[in-house]
Amino acid sequence: GKASDSGVVYGHRGMTLEEDLNVSNRYYIETDQAVIYKKPTPIQIVHVDYPKRSAAKITEAYFRKASTTDYNGIYRGRYIDFEAKETTHAHYIPLKNFHAHQVEHMKRIKRHGGIGFIIVKFTQTAEIFLLDSDYLANYWVASMKGGRKSMPKQLFMDHGHLIPQNYLPRIDYLRVVNKVYF
Amino acid sequence: GKASDSGVVYGHRGMTLEEDLNVSNRYYIETDQAVIYKKPTPIQIVHVDYPKRSAAKITEAYFRKASTTDYNGIYRGRYIDFEAKETTHAHYIPLKNFHAHQVEHMKRIKRHGGIGFIIVKFTQTAEIFLLDSDYLANYWVASMKGGRKSMPKQLFMDHGHLIPQNYLPRIDYLRVVNKVYF
Ligand SMILES: [Mg+2]
Ligand SMILES: [Mg+2]
């Protein structure tokens, strides 16, 4: 990675946020810090072939919309739940990156005592922020009432937390979780 | 459903354990008691067609082995994790119904303060038991050392808990969780 003006190392520009989070989660599991996984992509299976002497082959299937967020697990005894998204826009992330089901899901998680947040990567600068899911819920409701259809980067700078990026773990979001939720 | 000798109503004999659990989890969500979902089946996608004016179609994919359990979520502020299996054997469930990865995963969950158990349905009698995952872990280790390759039904009767079956929720496992873990 190369050093930015601020001295932060922004590496792995070729990796997607999801890949980097998967590697980070694996590191957290291997070092026994947390047990957090990305859920598999939900698929509607229509047809499966069962050839003799080889593995079952799915020959017709379709992507389904997730009813929950992509990531969940346990950390320091607490239930953790989050959604991760990239935005190519320099100054905002469109709300259409999220689904109504996901916003509702995160509200439920909070109500039941869990920790819920979003992780958003602004790809132009490679900055990654953690923002509590209450902010997403509030912007979502406001947009339904005619408000803006995106969350400005300024919101992340004012109320979110820049996540440190390293070699291992690549995206050290639990360091931020320690500060914000414990 | 029809009444058994013991007076318990065993209904929905045509439904699989998974279907009944999904309906029960939906009921728990709708009544705002818990937020627990079955994870999607993990699929290795090899080829996707993107036809014009219609949905992306997966034309080649394969089933992958799950590295975690099938169900997780939050209940009364606690992280919940379990695996559900049916056995057609009257007196035992073979350990090969579980994978080493799942046993290891449940050990981690316990270590980090979560609640972990298995739900096993003995299909011949339609009885469904909840058993703490520590018992599975112990039988697993013993089998590696030459011990028996199955868990006897007697284990479930002595150390597990019969789950009440009703109309709604069909499999009221949270009632058992209340007693065992809170
Ligand atoms: Mg997603
Ligand atoms: Mg399974």
Q: Could you tell me if A40 lies within 8 Å of chain B, comparing CB atoms?
A: yes
Helix/strand/coil for B178: helix
Alpha-carbon distances, residue A155 vs A83, A100, B99 (angstroms): 17, 20, 44
Residues A103, A139 contacting (CB under 8 angstroms): no
Structure tokens at B112: 């980090």
Evaluate if residue A12 carries a pLDDT over 60: no
A2 vs A46: CA distance, rounded Å: 46
Residues A103, A138 contacting (CB under 8 angstroms): no
Evaluate if residue B32 carries a pLDDT over 50: yes
Q: Could you tell me if B49 lies within 8 Å of chain A, comparing CB atoms?
A: no
Evaluate if residue A2 carries a pLDDT over 70: no
Query: Residue B164: is the preceding peptide bond cis (ω within 30°)?
Result: no
Q: Mean pLDDT for chain A?
A: 93
Which residue is closest to A34 within chain B, CA to CA? B112
- pLDDT digits over A140-174, tens only? 999 999 999 999 999 999 999 999 999 999 999 99
Domains in chain A (CATH in brackets) are 9-40+66-181 (3.40.1350.10)
pLDDT at A14: 63
Which residue is closest to B62 within chain A, CA to CA? A57
B126 vs B121: CA distance, rounded Å: 6
Count each helix (H run) and each strand (E run) in chain A, helices first: 5, 12
User: What letters, b where the CB count within 10 A reaches 16 and e where it falls short, cover A100-124?
Assistant: eebbebbbbbbebebbbbbbbbbee
- Asked if the Cβ–Cβ distance from A62 to B58 is below 8 Å, we say yes
- pLDDT digits over A92-133, tens only? 999 999 999 999 999 999 999 999 999 999 999 999 999 999
- Asked if the Cβ–Cβ distance from A109 to B40 is below 8 Å, we say no
Evaluate if residue B37 carries a pLDDT over 80: yes
Could you tell me the pLDDT band of residue B66, with boundaries at 50, 70 and 90? confident
State how far residue B110 is from chain A, nearest Cα, in angstroms. 9
Evaluate if residue B9 carries a pLDDT over 80: no
Evaluate if residue B1 carries a pLDDT over 80: no
User: Could you report the predicted ipTM of this complex, rounded to two decimals?
Assistant: 0.90
